[in-house]
Amino acid sequence: MIRRNFLKGVSLAGVGAMLPRPSVAGVDEVSKDKISDRAYWVKTISRIATPVLEALSEEKLRERMPVETAAGMLEDRKRVTYLEALGRTLVGIAPWLELGADSTEEGKQREKLIKLSLLSIRNAVTPTSRDFMNFTEGGQPLVDAAFLAHALLRSPNQLWGNLDEVTQQHVIEALLATRVIKPGYSNWLLFTAMVEAALFKFTGKYDAVRVDYAVKQHEAWYKGDGVYGDGPDLHVDYYNSFVIQPMLLDVLTTINAGRNEAKELIEKIRKRATRYADIQERSISPEGTFPVVGRSLAYRCGAFQLLAQAALQKILPATLPPAQVRSALTAVIRRSMEAPNTFDANGWLTIGFCGHQPGVGERYISTGSLYLCSVAFLPLGLPPADEFWSSPAMDWTSKRAYGGNDFPIDHALY
């Protein structure tokens, strides 16, 4: 049930304003570098998310959001880009919103974004809304329904729990509607599984075959040393992080919550994720750059979702201190999001990898797609007193190595 006073008196003014430094409850004499990292993350994710959520909360997303696409793809992508923007924005900020409101400046900012998110979800799934979204036409809606479902799983109290019953039912109907879409024989199988995981979580009912097939196929596609194929073949790209490993982890743990049947499989998949997180951290250069390989580079720092999720879920390798990961991710976010023309004059993301580079956008990329960069910010779901935030900044592996300092030797997972 929605809490009746939760949306009362919401002011949309100033949501995107620059934030003062948040106070950090329970941490004494926190050094400037520790506070500035978290404050910077909060300011940056608020800048990314606010235009989407503010517009959609007012049923004006279609009116306000520009739709940038590859040549000749505008009409095709306009059918799906709005659900992309919603699902991909929420999937990254959901763990942070799940912390709820408090009296700090950061807590007040969360409260504003929670309220905007609830209104946005309602408007996206209400058939009479001007921004009612497409969940059935074409293949793409399956992808972004899955990201929306993942967001709700990552914030079961603040997002799902604060929706009114009618909106909850509309969400369920929208997720069920995506069953008409046939997934590709690739990471797309996990989109069907994620939708079913959310249905299981929120209704107690799901299609077990869709989940079982997705999990078994990915088990068959495992290539070794923490890496899965995208389908039968190995792809040198970031889809192990964009989709495969985060969704595998969360689908399995959701479906098997409180059960022992899949305990061994979950542990195996978790170990692979830990290994891949190690690989991801080592791929961040001393300057905060990372290899320009594979497709979907317009998702920018979203390429590090798995590393961010490993920090959030505390499954980092023992040799990788959380503060080191924070420092590495901060460097990536800065390089990725501060390049000139990353945002347009009205605050919307533009297509590019480092700045505005329209040629980076494949035919399936549009403005809404770009908001998957939000998943780099998952560790904001850890409270300020957590060691991820409260420990001193550290050089990451490549920075230590190229600085002539000791660093742990890498070992494969067997």
Task: State how far the alpha carbon of 284 is from the alpha carbons of 277, 304, 398, in Å.
Answer: 11, 10, 7
Looking at residue 10, what is its pLDDT?
41
Task: Point out the least confidently predicted range of 12-26, 167-181, 236-250.
Answer: 12-26
Task: State how far the alpha carbon of 14 is from the alpha carbons of 65, 111, 236, in Å.
Answer: 18, 13, 42
Q: Which amino acid belongs to residue 349?
A: L
- How many other C-beta atoms are found inside a 10 Å radius of the C-beta of residue 29? 5
Q: Using CA atoms of 189, 225, 386, 402 in order, give the dihedral in degrees to the nearest 10.
A: -130
Looking at residue 53, what is its pLDDT?
98
Question: H helices of 221-312, where?
Answer: 239, 245-255, 263-282, 305-312
Percent of the chain at pLDDT above 90? 90
Per-residue pLDDT tens digits for 217-261: 999 999 999 999 999 999 999 999 999 999 999 999 999 987 887
**Cβ–Cβ under 8 Å, residues 60 and 131:** yes
Looking at residue 20, what is its pLDDT?
37
Beta bridge partners of 228: 222
Residue 22 has pLDDT above 60, yes or no: no
Per-residue pLDDT tens digits for 130-147: 999 999 999 999 999 999
Residue 21 has pLDDT above 90, yes or no: no
Residue 356 has pLDDT above 60, yes or no: yes
Per-residue pLDDT tens digits for 396-414: 999 999 999 999 999 999 9
What is the rounded average pLDDT of the residues 353-381? 98
d(CA 347, CA 387): 32
User: If DSSP codes are grouped into helix, strand and coil, which group holds residue 149?
Assistant: helix
Instruction: Report all structural domains of the chain as residue ranges with CATH numbers, in order of start.
Output: 33-402 (1.50.10)
